[in-house]
Amino acid sequence: MDGVLVDLVKSVEDTYPHLLEMGMEIGDILDVHDQPFYSSEPVKGAVDAFNQLCNDPRFDVYILSTAPWMNVQSLTAKRVWVEKHLGEAATKRLILSHRKDLMIGDYLIDDRPNNGAAEFKGEWIQFGTKQFESWKKVLNYLETNS
């Protein structure tokens, strides 16, 4: 979700520049502040891509995300973000887990190898890399490989 659907980094940079200037890491900020989850905007093209994939009968789309477990409010904030930007129906497609490798599927679109993403049993599409730097590239890949 973060970095793939949600531009969380920009929200942290906009909301807490003073903490970043003091040397705090984004992850540490998110462990104690939930405001960036509520105020984040979608990654460019993410909402349209999500809707396109949901409407394609070849795909059964779920949102798999890890929340900072030290910040329990972040779980609610992620749920609220999904409803606000993707609609109420998408909230029933939200899975929060620290073990992405335990999920079953053909594809996992994630920006980092953390929390089992790199060990996912299907194909891991690493969003943000040169091959998959945009949602347009991801959709083109899925169109030709599914």
| DSSP secondary structure letters along 3-31 | TTTB-HHHHHHHH-HHHHHTT--HHHHHH
- In the chain, the largest separation of any two C-alpha atoms, in whole Å, equals 48
Per-residue pLDDT band for 33 (boundaries 50, 70, 90) equals confident
Residue 96 in any domain: the answer is yes
- Residue range 2-20, pLDDT digits in tens: 999 999 999 999 999 999 9
Residue 23 lies in domain: 8-145
Indicate whether this model's pTM tops 0.95.
no
Can you give the CATH number for the domain in which 52 is found?
3.40.50.1000
Q: pLDDT tens digit string along 96-133?
A: 999 999 999 999 999 999 999 999 999 999 999 999 99
Structural domains in the chain (count)? 1
